[in-house]
Structure 1
Amino acid sequence: MNTPLQNGLTLLGRLALAALFLPAGLSKISGFEGTVGYINSAGLPLASVAAVIAILIEVGGGLALITGLFTRLAALVLAGFTAIASMTFHAYWAVPAEQAFMQQLMFYKNVGIVGGLLVLAAHGAGAWALGAKRNQATA
């Protein structure tokens, strides 16, 4: 049984992670053509499809983290998504020297986010979640 402090910190952690993904997904909707262009600039195929997938993952995952429903699954999907995006869009080892430092910062920031998501996937949403009863059954 978790303490109120643990449940409160888990909730704050979920909300902090969601604050990254949900607005990013929503901005991809309003700036869809720009998102497609950015994905194209990375040389990825089917940029429009990739943009829709990114929107679904970021918005759906963000909402799952906020509500605490399907938190473990959402955290795993978001961790994989973030790892792939980091390798694709923040490849600091493959950019000119004047860009490498900023891309390295972005890459390792994302590594930290992946770590937080994996901890959330391992431990679940906590008791202060809509899926708390369901999460306890699958723990």
Structure 2
Amino acid sequence: MGRTVAILVARLIFAGVFAMAAAFKFAGMEGTAGYIAAAGFPFPLLLAWLAAIFEVALVLAFLTGAFFSEAALLAGVYVIFLAFAFHGPSHWQGNQAEFGFFVDHFTFLAGLLYAAVHGPGERLTVPRLGVWQPWAT
């Protein structure tokens, strides 16, 4: 019972973090696009929309357990990309707190990798769809 509760809480935390990120993007898409443009990326409004949609897909995967491991791995790649793109070494000189934000992304990555390997929990997922399930081997 304790393991099931811990897994459920972890999944809710993952979903909550990405849901908040998506909500902030949808609420201020132009501001998000401006932040992306300031980092030097092309097509900032398109990238902002794609990021928000991707985050919603992650929320659905974490809440339902569908494609859970794949979502956790993709989320890990996304989180590390964000760390380097928006909080990487070029940002540390002007604001030492950026280094803390950068490191925080790696702790989030650690949890996502653990989740990817161990899966969504046996009783906490939609019916299996024949996708890669490392926790079942």
Greater helix share, 1 or 2?
1
Q: Describe the shift of the 1:129–1:90 C-alpha distance in structure 2 as closer, same or farther (beyond 3 A).
A: same
Report if the CA contact (8 A) 2:25-2:32 is conserved.
yes
Q: Percent identity?
A: 30
Structure-2 separation of matches of 1:78 and 1:137: 16
Structure 1 match to 2:106: 111
SS at match of 2:123: coil
Count of aligned positions: 134
Q: Residue deviations 1:18-61, cap 9 Å, x none?
A: 11111111220121111111100100111122112211221110
Deviation at 1:134, TM superposition (A): 4.6
Structure 2 match to 1:30: 27
Structure-2 separation of matches of 1:24 and 1:96: 23
Residue 19 of structure 1 pairs with residue 19 of structure 2: no
Letter in 1 for 2:93: A
Q: Describe the shift of the 1:49–1:98 C-alpha distance in structure 2 as closer, same or farther (beyond 3 A).
A: closer
Q: Where does the alignment leave 5 or more consecutive residues of structure 2 unmatched?
A: none
Structure 2 match to 1:130: 125
Runs of 4+ in 1 over 4 A off after TM superposition: 132-137
RMSD: 2.0
Give TM-score scaled by structure 2 length. 0.88
Q: Where does the alignment leave 5 or more consecutive residues of structure 1 unmatched?
A: none
Structure-1 separation of matches of 2:47 and 2:73: 18
Which one has more relative contact order, counting CA pairs under 8 Å at least 6 apart?
1
Letter in 1 for 2:99: Q
Q: Describe the shift of the 1:127–1:96 C-alpha distance in structure 2 as closer, same or farther (beyond 3 A).
A: closer
